[in-house]
Structure 1
Amino acid sequence: MTSTTARTRRGSLARMEARQALGFASPALVGLALFTIVPVVLSIVMSFFDWPTFGARTFNGGANYGRLLDDPNFLPALKNSLVFTVLYVPTNIILSLLLAIGLGPRIRGRGALRVLFFIPVVTPMVANVLVWKMLLQPQGLFNGVATSWFGVELPNFLADRNWAMIMVVVMSVWQGLGYNMLIFSAALEQLPESVLEAAAIDGASGWRVTWGIILPMISPSIFFAAVMTMITSLQVFAQPQLLTGGGPGNATLPLVMWIYNQGFKFQDLGLAAAGAWILFALIIIITAVQFGAQKKWVHYEH
């Protein structure tokens, strides 16, 4: 009888705790449902309809996905997103890693330097872009210094098809460099000193220690940073939108900006939803490839 009573009390206590936990979590769950789950489901439905912002909505099957290839800007926008990702991700990862290694324990004031490099990450994107836009204009600081000091006139970076995407990448790397730097710095600080001391005793050079010990041991952090940076780079929007407006022509028009234009400029929400799901599928595929390839170079401690 006593054991039965105890089990009953434990069951009542567990149910009460579950209700309390659900009560505390309910605001977040409601927000998740309203602002994530419902929009995702609605976007799937919209991608199979002719869905103007105002007016009648009619089911068209998968016609929106076929219309994507008929749009003259869809494939260039997809290409621009891939080009941006290919340029941005390795540049960001390599520079962040070099910076994290460079700001080692022997560097004085490394805490202040880390804060300095991290400031662009938390600074509003609009402010960062406006500063870079003023610097890159023909009347800006860069061209002024080049002309007055070296007698060289720089090209109009933001209006030149050969330079516009590069400048978007440069600005984006400057903006996001500090985030991955902190990830790598935290990973480096967790390295066991005994392993590094043993390598030093064996006479391993700095390059061999970095390539053969440090990089393999922090490879999980590198993998995490690479995946997250890839996902965010494929969704790039604010930098080209504010810096170049997608121009000149469509040289810096990314897929997310194309989706935005279709939905809010041309009022074709069905086509925009179809484009968004193509982007989602692309991100899933590339992420799956990264997870499959990690077995060859990511080393986890067991």
Structure 2
Amino acid sequence: MKFSEYMGEWLYGKNGYYTTYKNIGKAGDFYTAVSTSKFFGGTIAKHIISLVDEGFLASDGVICEIGAHHGYFLADVCEFLYTLRPKLLSTLNFVIIERFDALQEQQRNYFQESFGDVVKLTHYKSLSELHCQSAFFIANEIFDAFPCELYFKGNSARVDGHTISFDVKDDWVNEKAAKYHKDRGEIAVGYEEFAKEMASSAKQFEFMSFDYGEMQARPDFSLRIYAKHEVYPFFEDNLDREALFGTSDITYDVTFGHVKDAYEEAGVKFIECVPQMVSLIDMGILELMEMLQKNVDEKIYKQEMEKVKMLIMPNLMGERFKMMKFRKNS
């Protein structure tokens, strides 16, 4: 089979890694910005308020998270909206795009436990089911979870069992490799369709995504496996891929230039791609921390500030992760 099919089965097949709930954070296989600090979602809530105030997002618009896993991120957004602008909690419409029924149930239960009937949550299995006038889309670490093809000097990968052979000719992969100046590495599959679906789902929207990678393609393979906070390069000698298949996360660095091109081809305007540190500070995360300091004791403030430092320090998540922003105007 093609490598993208193999990776798709690994992550989303019948017994795939993302088909059931997985712990994220200390008890899981990896950390994310969401598992690190509630103030990640809080900063997004502050940004949503600014979009409403500037008139870009309607006060009855849709707030949509894509790939929500447990639902912590959107719940953090709701919690901070309640603190900062409670009226919006009753006027905005909250949506999660989630293809798996088991995860939808986890998310519904978590929102019910957290908010009761105060927040009304709607699920769709894909963006193609959503049609609205005004929206804000948010995703955290989604583009690195798209299946990819592996490319090496003119050939694409084929998988037999769990053995990789580079002996397939694929014109589409070759075209992308040439466009992004790669002679080896990962070529993501599905960005173009995803961008078109989003462009069709709302007449006016802003989309913000956080992920790791660079605008320019890496000159080598970045494909790797995460299991219990251990990182295994995919081509490591003696790696037991069969044992790790479906039980661990598999990912790669995002080529943000590819994401940008996919959205521009769909008629959506690229706004910026900046380090996570820059985006969170610009959106007011430090202002939120000042508010916290005035309302809690010093011990709690220091605990939360240490978590926020994980998000913004250049040697931690602040530089390695990037924020991409797009807008479509009606």
Common fold: TM-score over 0.5: no
**TM-score of the aligned structures, taking structure 1 as reference length:** 0.25
Larger RCO (CA under 8 A, 6+ residues apart): 1
* Greater radius of gyration (CA): 1
Larger helix percent: 1
Q: Which of the pair is proportionally richer in strand?
A: 2
TM-score, L = length of structure 2: 0.24
